[in-house]
């Protein structure tokens, strides 16, 4: 059973108004008749799957994308009846369950269709499975690799009463880059695939957040709006978004212990930090078991608008910071967010770690409670 740390002052504060703003603004930019499916996989990129889904519907989302079947079942159990597409490959033995629950499957091979037929006929004989055919135009992850294989699968798909050909899509690997050469190569491959289709299905979609933000001519009639919906720029700092993305996630805690560290004394495992002079040090109740990376030693947090260095190794459940002067226990500390005019963004944290903000947002563990505003 997962334990949530409700009896300590560490929490992720999720601003639902920011999520609403990002989705509604993007929805307004779309061509008439274009659907927006909100991507809520990985617990809504760490923001909370059902809470994000609720806000997304209010903001104009008409469906959802998830990574695994269990995420789709979570949405169905919570009462969401919008279309849901599982973007990953689901084992064919669960095809009948997906059909029964009106959950759409990504299919990348004709073999999968053949293997899934028995499950559908057994579990859901009166309800066909909605299928989106995935095309590998250069991502190299899943999907049909040649137009000829796609054409054969479409023939088999449309001939079987067990399936409904609902959609077709691909995924771009460099839509978030200023260098568009590889993106254009994928577009060319996409067009070669589409040329063998005798008829287009209900949903034709290629656009993730980056594609929709910077290549919206490619949107088709549906976009998969992911990280930008949470207010995070999919390209990091390389490209500027066409509208203001409002980050929805704030990470905060409070000082639980304060001491004066004497010159020559050290802090934390390995004694990697030694005070050169007397200084005030605060202990914070958060560590790498909460998803705050151990490699953030030397980075900073915000206390009363001051950037305060993280000193010593970050522990599993606690970490230490150097204060400009003594502060009382209970003082709020901002690890991601704004404080008295100073800001630490998730991008700042990611840059220091040498990673992307996606990883950090998804990495905050369930031990950290999510608190929702607006």
In the annotated binding site, the residues are: 141, 316
Q: Which position among 41, 230, 273, 288 bears the catalytic label?
A: 41
- Read off the tokens for 362: 């998804």
- From the list 267, 277, 348, 349, the residue with the least C-alpha distance to 311 is 267
Q: Is 269 a residue of the active site? A: yes
* Number of C-beta neighbours around residue 127 at 10 A: 16
Bridge pairing between strands 300-303 and 332-339? antiparallel
Backbone torsions φ then ψ of 199, nearest 5 degrees? -155, 140
Catalytic residue among 58, 185, 262, 269: 269
Annotated binding site for substrate: 141, 316
Q: Is there a contact between 317 and 274 (Cβ–Cβ < 8 Å)?
A: no
Radius of gyration of the chain (CA): 24
Give the 3-state secondary structure percentages of the chain, helix then strand then coil, rounded to 5.
Answer: 35, 25, 40
Place of tokens 């008749």: 33
Cβ atoms of residues 301 and 338 within 8 Å: no
Residues serving a catalytic function are 41, 269
């Amino acid at each position: 059973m997962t334990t949530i740390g409700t009896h300590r002052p560490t929490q992720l504060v999720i601003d639902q108004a920011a999520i609403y703003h990002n989705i509604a603004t993007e929805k307004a930019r779309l061509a008439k008749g274009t659907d927006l499916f909100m991507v809520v996989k990985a617990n809504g990129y760490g923001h909370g799957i059902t809470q994000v889904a609720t806000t997304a519907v209010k903001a104009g989302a008409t469906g959802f994308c998830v990574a695994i079947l269990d995420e789709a079942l979570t949405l169905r159990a919570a009462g969401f009846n919008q279309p849901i597409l599982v973007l990953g490959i689901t084992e064919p033995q669960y095809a009948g369950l997906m059909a029964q629950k009106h959950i759409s499957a990504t299919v990348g091979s004709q073999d999968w269709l053949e293997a899934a037929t028995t499950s559908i006929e057994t579990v859901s004989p009166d309800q066909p499975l909605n299928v989106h055919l995935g095309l590998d135009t250069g991502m190299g992850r899943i999907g049909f690799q040649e137009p000829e294989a796609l054409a054969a699968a479409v023939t088999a798909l449309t001939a079987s009463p067990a399936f409904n050909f609902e959609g077709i899509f691909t995924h771009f690997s460099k839509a978030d880059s200023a260098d568009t050469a590889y993106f254009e190569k994928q577009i060319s491959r996409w067009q070669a695939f589409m040329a063998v289709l005798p008829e287009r299905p209900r949903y034709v979609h290629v656009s993730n957040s980056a594609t929709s933000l910077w290549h919206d001519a490619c949107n088709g009639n549906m976009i998969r709006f992911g990280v930008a919906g949470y207010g995070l720029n999919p390209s990091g700092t390389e490209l500027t978004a066409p509208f203001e993305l409002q980050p929805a996630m704030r990470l905060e805690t409070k000082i639980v212990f304060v001491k004066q560290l004497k010159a020559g004394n050290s802090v934390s495992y390995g004694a990697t930090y030694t005070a050169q002079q007397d200084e005030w040090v605060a202990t914070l109740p958060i560590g790498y078991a909460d998803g705050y990376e151990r490699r953030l030693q030397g980075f900073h947090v915000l206390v009363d608008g001051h950037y305060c260095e993280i000193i010593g190794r970050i522990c599993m459940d606690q970490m230490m910071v150097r204060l400009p002067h003594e502060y009382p226990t209970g003082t709020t500390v901002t690890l991601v967010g704004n404080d008295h005019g100073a800001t630490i963004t998730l991008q700042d944290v990611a840059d220091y770690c040498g990673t992307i903000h996606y990883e950090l947002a998804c990495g905050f563990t369930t031990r950290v409670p999510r608190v929702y505003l607006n």
